[in-house]
Structure 1
Amino acid sequence: MAFKDHDINMFKRIYIPSLKLKELNGMGTSRGIEITNRADFATWKLKVLWFLGSVHEDAETVLTTGPITPGQMVDAVPGSDTVAAQPAYFRSTPRERWTEAEAIKFKLDSKIRSIIGNAVTVPILRKISHAKTAKAMWDLLLNDYEGVTVVKTQKRKNLIRCYENFAAEPKESLSDLHSRFQVLINDLESVGIEKTQQVLCQKFIELLPSNFESVITSMVISEKIEGYELSELFGILSNFEETQLKNEINVKKVAKDPEAALVATTKKNKQLFSSYSSKVESEEIKWQ
Structure 2
Amino acid sequence: MASAQPVFRDGGSGNKPPCFVGEHYDFWKIRMQAFLEAQGEEIWDAVENGPFIPTTVVNNVVETKVKASWTDDNKRKVLFDKKAKNLLQSALGMDEFFRISQCKTAKEIWDTLEVTHEGTTEVKRSKLNTLSQEYEMFRMQPGETILDLQKRFSHLTNHLMALGKTFTNDELNLKVLRSLTTA
How far apart, CA to CA, are the structure 2 residues paired with 1:186 and 1:111? Answer: 28
Amino acid at match of 1:92: K
Residues 42 and 95 (structure 1), Cα distance of their counterparts in 2 relative to 1, 3 Å cut: farther
1:11 to 16, 30, 34: 16
Q: By how many angstroms is 1:103 displaced? A: 2.6
Q: Deviations over 1:108-163 (max 9, x none)?
A: 21222221111111122112111111122222211211111110110110111110
Structure with the largest fraction of helix: 1
Q: How does 1:133-152 map to 2 (within 5 A)?
A: 133-152=105-124
What residue is the counterpart of 2:31 in the other structure? 47
Aligned to 1:282: none
The residue number in structure 1 matching 2:53 is 69
The number of equivalent residue pairs is 171
Q: Mind listing any 5+ residue stretches in structure 2 that lack a counterpart?
A: 1-12
Deviations 1:210-238 (A, max 9, x none): 24xxxxxxxxxxxxxxxxxxxxxxxxxxx
1:115/1:186 Cα in 2 relative to 1: closer, same or farther (>3 Å)?
A: same
Report whether the alignment pairs 1:115 with 2:120. no
Distance 1:94 1:178 in 2: 54
Specify every segment of 5 or more residues in structure 1 that has no aligned partner in the other structure, as ranges: 1-7, 17-32, 78-87, 212-288
Mapped to 1, the partners of 2:121 and 2:95 lie a distance apart of 25
TM-score (normalised: structure 1): 0.53
Larger radius of gyration, structure 1 or 2? 1
**1:43 Cα deviation (Å)?**
1.3
Q: What is the match of residue 92 of structure 1?
A: 65
- In the alignment, what sits opposite 1:132? 104
2:150 pairs, out of 178, 183, 188, with 178
CA distance in 2, matches of 1:109, 1:123: 22
Q: Identity across aligned pairs (percent)?
A: 27
**Could you tell me how far apart the structure 2 residues matched to 1:69 and 1:172 are?**
55
Label 1:64 to 1:9 Cα distance change in 2 as closer, same or farther (>3 A): closer
Give RMSD over aligned pairs. 2.5
- 1:104 shift after superposition: 2.7
CA–CA distance in 1 between the matches of 2:145 and 2:39? 40
| Residues 128 and 163 in structure 2, CA contact (< 8 A), matched pair in contact too | yes
Deviation per CA, 1:243-262, whole angstroms, max 9, x where unpaired? xxxxxxxxxxxxxxxxxxxx
State the alpha-carbon separation in 2 of the partners of residues 128 and 116 from structure 1: 10
**Aligned equivalent of 2:22:** 35
Q: Measured at CA, do residues 112 and 187 of structure 1 come closer, stay the same or move farther in structure 2, by a change above 3 Å?
A: same
State the distance in 2 between where 1:200 and 1:104 align: 43
Q: Distance in 2 between matches of 1:207 and 1:51?
A: 34
Letter in 2 for 1:186: N
